[in-house]
């Protein structure tokens, strides 16, 4: 059974470390963390970030020392807001890249407000069938 993990920023056991958020020690002030879905299948890990309203140019993806970070610039949405439930400011979210993902082959695309980042798995980690001789 999975270890319950509901304390944000808490260091997690190794078996759940893939894509757990990295503790936000270095996180820039005044940023928020957009919600994220992570899928894991045989070929790749897929990260989906909900970033509605952000232009492609406003988003920056970096890989540094096993950490993937996604940053977005402030949308500068101004106006006479009478109700504000979602944020339009700068955001940042970091992920630990699992060992079986190939950080050299990361691809990203943005569609309908969802940023999809694809991390293919290294060949050795993919399932293969072995022929009986």
Q: Which SS3 state, helix, strand or coil, does residue 39 take?
A: strand
Closest to another protein by CB, 23 or 113: 113
Q: How far apart are CA 87 and CA 32, in angstroms?
A: 8
* Residue 28 exposure: Cα atoms within 13 Å on the Cβ side: 14
What one-character-per-residue DSSP string does 109-132 give? EEETTEEEEEEEBPGGGS------
Q: How far is the CB of 133 from another protein (least distance, A)?
A: 33
Q: Does 23 help bind another protein (rule: CB under 8 A)? A: no
Q: How far is the CB of 64 from another protein (least distance, A)?
A: 21
Closest to another protein by CB, 111 or 123: 111
Q: Does 35 help bind another protein (rule: CB under 8 A)? A: yes
Q: How far is the CB of 132 from another protein (least distance, A)?
A: 29
């Amino acid at each position: 059974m999975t270890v319950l993990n509901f304390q944000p920023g808490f260091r997690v056991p190794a078996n759940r470390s893939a894509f757990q958020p990295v503790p936000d020690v270095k996180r820039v002030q005044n940023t928020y963390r957009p919600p994220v879905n992570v899928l894991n299948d045989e070929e790749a890990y897929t990260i989906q970030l909900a970033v509605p309203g952000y232009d492609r140019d406003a988003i920056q993806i970096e890989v540094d020392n096993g950490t993937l970070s996604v940053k977005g610039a402030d949308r500068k949405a101004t106006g006479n807001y009478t109700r504000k439930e979602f944020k339009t400011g700068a955001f940042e979210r970091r992920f630990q890249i699992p060992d079986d993902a190939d950080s050299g082959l990361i691809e990203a695309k943005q569609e309908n407000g969802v940023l999809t980042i694809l991390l293919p798995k290294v060949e050795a980690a993919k399932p293969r069938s072995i022929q009986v001789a």
